[in-house]
Structure 1
Amino acid sequence: MTQTPAPEDTAPPAPTADGLRGSDLVDWDFAAAAASRLVPPGPRTVRGEVEELVAELRQAAGTAVEPVASTARMSTPPGTPAALVVDRAGWIRANAVSMGAMLGPVLDEVVGRKRAADEARARSRGKEAAQVGPTAQRVGSTITGTEVAGLLSWMSTKVLGQYDLAPQGTPRLMFVAPNILTAERELDVVPRDFRLWVAMHEETHRVQFTAVPWLRDHLIARARAVGTEVMPEPDQMQQRLKEIVTQLPGVLRGDTDITQVLATPEQREHLAEITAVMSLLEGHADVVMDEVGPRVIPTVKEIRARFTERRKGAGNVDKILRRLLGMEAKMRQYRDGAVFVRAVTDQVGVDGFNQVWTSPETLPRPAEIADPQAWVARVHG
């Protein structure tokens, strides 16, 4: 099965006065290697089945380009890298690099805050701030890397496809072959149709980020800014941990969202802005993949019905993990975003809807996802 290429090199984050970098808080290489060892390889296959699957996914990626472009009335520019077909370990490696690049500036801020707080406290006592030794750095980053490995391992069994924003380099569209094979077997759907259906969704994401040049940088910058905001000040860490522990049962029951536990009211507003954009992106991709319709995918209605039921039917352990990781909220993004896209399109057509991609100011606000008419009134007058 095809693997991802080596990521592009980028300059590491700037170190603090004692040489500690934000990236030092997590050993991403260790996390990727450990997760790759932990994750099961995927479903059993017969000779030639994997090669056929990879070839058909590559073909589906190419086939999806024209129907998505004509349905969305947006086109991927020439020269955009071709889709990759990866196994679970390939997905893990790519996402460990991307997560490290995305979180690097956020972790730099955490390290900087901690260092500043330690220095201020030391000065008040007439002492020098304690330095973090290389051994302690290495042990700490390995422990954190182990925790990240567990997360990456679990997620790598769930993702069918992804447009990797790759803050460190070149974005790429990926399909996780063993997960697609598992899903189509569980759903008992026509493999060719299902593979093309998944390709339609992921190609729509590629169109969104390549036809709208500012969108990728905007989303990365907003996500980093909110991530930095959500990180508590060092002297608030103990209190925040107590709050999280207190509210965790509600998260596990599904009474509240993990972001409601981690953020202050002001931070929740900023998180809601990102959630609104993610709802738009996921809902738009769901609408396009379904609107392509029977002319390209004969069993599209059957696939959608069975896939929707599959989203509801996760086991208890799976549901708990989804809630802890905020993935239940992601499921709502598909539904709420699709309702928004369809409602706006019904009122102003596809070209009118596509005004959403004009600038950050025309993206839907949190309240507008649930009230599409408000967006139409604001943008179209």
Structure 2
Amino acid sequence: MSDTPFGFGLPPEEPDDGDEGKKKDQQGGGGQGPANPFGFGFPGGPGGAGGDNPFAAMFGSMNPNDLGAAFQQLGQMLSYEGGPVNWDMAKDIARQTVSQGTQDGVKDASVGPAERTAVEEAVRLADLWLDDATSLPSGAASAVAWSRAEWVEATLPVWKELVDPVAERVGMAMGDVLPEEMQAMAGPLIGMMRSMGGAMFGSQIGQALGTLAGEVVGSTDIGLPLIPAGKAALLPLNIESFGKDLSVPMEEVRLYLALREAAHQRLFAHVPWLRSHLFGAVDGYARGIKVDTTKLEDVVGQFDPQNPEQIQEALQQGMFQPEDTPEQKAALARLETALALVEGWVDAVVHAAAKPRLASADALRETLRRRRATGGPAEQTFATLIGLELRPRRLRDASRLWASLTDARGVDGRDGLWAHPDMLPTASDLDDPDGFVHHEQLDFSELDKMLGDAASGSAGKPNLSKDEEPGKGTDAAQDDQGEGDGDK
């Protein structure tokens, strides 16, 4: 931190070298020193630019438009009195980003009737195909085609839920960067710093959301439910961008992506505890993130309203670090496993539905896997801004496990594991999918035996199911038990 009381980077006083002309320039147009008490780094101009006008001394050669924009941005930052993130600013910047097409050079556009019809038909057909691949019923009561701006508006409430807890920690840390002896006297200053923090977060989150809106193809791309259950959403403009270089008919691309969206919706709609489980994993990991106050001091001390890129660069370097504790490592494992299990189930189910029907199923599956595993620029921005990577690192392992469960226990037995979070595979189970499948079969066989014993009223009697006849082989009995396990 700098040597000034508030750490805002006041420049040191320069010694008087006897050059009166130079001294006069410093006082009248140098742009630094007492005329700029908070040291916010406003650029100074030549001495003749402002004469005795103190504002000219502060802002020098800035033209009126730049000066007005700087004051407007500063005013927005310092007048904000809401939560840890200025979400009004975030939404405005996100919408501006998509309207100008700054993320990919493609400007956002309203969705036309033909595109809406194509999306509705694709989701309807996808739901029919999924009926053969999963025991979970349809979760999409409606299908909508969104523009990028509509995606921003619809998903903003969930982003607030994800980002606010971490941003709150930054707001508290911005007060902590002051020396302890100054904090009692600096109430208004701390409030100003937190307002600045909310604005800086709002600006960065807005840009990240605007960029992400140019990448996503639906409402479930990040593995978390961004909208209420029951509505499948696709973005026609982004689907076209996604499929233009794949050498696959656009109808197949749209249908495959509709399968993924509809599969997610089935899971989120009919596994009532899943949403809280996922967000609980995110929250558990976020609680263990600590703020790099040294980097935060640098951001605050170099604050310059005319040069927001400087703040963006500092924040994008990341100021969040996970704590190196067993609890934090366990929280990370829970989060990564939860994301992987959701994405792995969707991957396995969609592949089962698409493989017999789409010639491009294998190619599209591999493209989506790689895209999901590497993440785009916006996902990386969120990782540096809030220390959170919403990426299923073990997608392939999870997909293999769900496929093995399908082979061993059938569709009903596989989907039955979603009945309770304690029944789901763990991170160690992803290391040994066959071991988990075999272990599950043994567990359920023992459970059936105990239930049969209890029903017969005697542990000494042979445990025969109602469909099992004397002399029937053990393997056949186990097969019958396996087929019924999915309903438990």
The one-character-per-residue Cα deviations of 1:319-342 (angstroms, maximum 9, x if unpaired) are 976986899983644323212211
The one-character-per-residue Cα deviations of 1:349-381 (angstroms, maximum 9, x if unpaired) are 222222320212112211212221343355442
Kindly report the root-mean-square deviation, in angstroms, between the aligned alpha carbons of the 2 structures: 4.3
Q: TM-score, normalised by structure 2?
A: 0.57
The one-character-per-residue Cα deviations of 1:303-323 (angstroms, maximum 9, x if unpaired) are 3355567779999x8997698
Q: Are 1:181 and 2:240 matched, yes or no?
A: yes
Partner in structure 2 of residue 161 of structure 1? 218
CA distance in 2, matches of 1:134, 1:261: 25
Partner in structure 2 of residue 215 of structure 1? 274
Partner in structure 1 of residue 333 of structure 2? 272
Partner in structure 1 of residue 391 of structure 2? 330
What runs of 5+ residues in structure 1 fail to find an aligned partner?
1-19, 243-257
The one-letter amino acid paired with 2:127 is V
The one-letter amino acid paired with 1:352 is G
Q: 1:72 aligns with which of 109, 116, 134?
A: 134
The one-character-per-residue Cα deviations of 1:68-94 (angstroms, maximum 9, x if unpaired) are 2331111135xx552332122222233
Whether contact under 8 Å (2:218, 2:261) holds in the other structure is: yes
* 1:114 to partner: Cα distance: 7.8
Matches within 5 A, 1:1-381: 24-39=83-98, 40-41=100-101, 50-76=112-138, 81-108=141-168, 127=184, 130-131=187-188, 135-163=192-220, 165-166=225-226, 172-232=231-291, 237-238=293-294, 262-266=322-326, 267-304=328-365, 330=391, 332-377=393-438, 379-380=440-441, 381=443
* 1:99 to partner: Cα distance: 0.9
User: Which structure has the highest helix share of the two?
Assistant: 1
CA distance in 1, matches of 2:183, 2:165: 31
CA distance in 2, matches of 1:318, 1:216: 23
Secondary structure in structure 2 of the residue aligned to 1:84: strand
CA distance in 1, matches of 2:374, 2:184: 58
The one-letter amino acid paired with 2:236 is A
CA distance in 2, matches of 1:308, 1:276: 16
Q: CA separation of 1:278/1:308 partners in 2, compared to 1, >3 Å: closer, same or farther? A: closer
The one-character-per-residue Cα deviations of 1:182-228 (angstroms, maximum 9, x if unpaired) are 11112121111111110111111111111111111222223223212
The one-letter amino acid paired with 2:93 is A
The one-letter amino acid paired with 1:280 is L
The one-character-per-residue Cα deviations of 1:271-317 (angstroms, maximum 9, x if unpaired) are 111111111111111111111135543432343355567779999x8
Whether contact under 8 Å (2:133, 2:349) holds in the other structure is: yes
Q: TM-score, normalised by structure 1?
A: 0.72
**Runs of 4+ more than 6 Å apart:** 42-45, 112-115, 239-242, 309-315, 317-323, 325-329
* 1:345 to partner: Cα distance: 2.1
- The structure with more radius of gyration: 2
CA distance in 1, matches of 2:379, 2:110: 35
Whether contact under 8 Å (1:279, 1:333) holds in the other structure is: yes
The one-letter amino acid paired with 1:93 is E
The one-letter amino acid paired with 2:335 is I
* 1:66 to partner: Cα distance: 2.6
* 1:104 to partner: Cα distance: 3.4
Q: CA separation of 1:136/1:265 partners in 2, compared to 1, >3 Å: closer, same or farther? A: closer
Whether contact under 8 Å (2:89, 2:199) holds in the other structure is: yes
CA distance in 1, matches of 2:434, 2:388: 27
Whether contact under 8 Å (2:174, 2:296) holds in the other structure is: no
The total of aligned residue pairs comes to 335
